[in-house]
Amino acid sequence: MKKAVLLDRDGVINREIDAYIFRRREFEILPDVPAALTLLKKNGFMLIIISNQGGIGKGLYKIPDVEKLHKYLISYLKDSGITIREIYYCVHHPENGNCICRKPDSLMVEKAIARFNINAEESWFIGDKERDILAGEKAGVKGILMTQNTSLLNAVKKIPGLKLK
């Protein structure tokens, strides 16, 4: 079984703004993200992003808009030698019905665990909202709550036993 770090997207990987992010011009990757993800990679963690994208469910943007941003993100990180194994996202919004994939529910986390044979007990979910931590905990993954738009590297360094060099 493998260990993984699951990451929220907006506010953790890229700057959260006071609006839905679906255009490249609004998608600003936070400065220490490559260093933080490189450290996780060196420590043997698989990297997976799990994100609510309720703007799709509200009709504000479409799946191709999100896919375009994710393609850019994957390419940007690849230039730093970082591989994101998968990006799971929920297209639903509570205004338009209930689902079990939207965080704080855990379906996206459970899918990642099953698909990639992840050991939940050795894995972490880093997010900037309590719903991120709850989604991970429901699937047996420990959480690290960080302040939105701050240092992912500082959050990563909270993982016990992490070798920093």
On average, the pLDDT of the chain sits at: 96
Residue 14 has pLDDT above 90, yes or no: yes
Residue 160 has pLDDT above 80, yes or no: yes
pLDDT at position 158 is: 97
As annotated, the active-site residues are 8, 10
Distance of alpha carbon 19 from the chain centroid: 18
CATH of domain 32-156: 3.40.50.1000
pLDDT tens per residue, range 54-113: 999 999 999 999 999 999 999 999 999 999 999 999 999 988 878 999 999 999 999 999
Please name the residue that has the structure tokens 């972490």.
Answer: 124
DSSP 117-137: TB-GGG-EEEESSHHHHHHHH
Specify the pTM: 0.96
Percent of the chain's residues with pLDDT above 90: 95
Residue ranges covered by each domain of the chain = 32-156
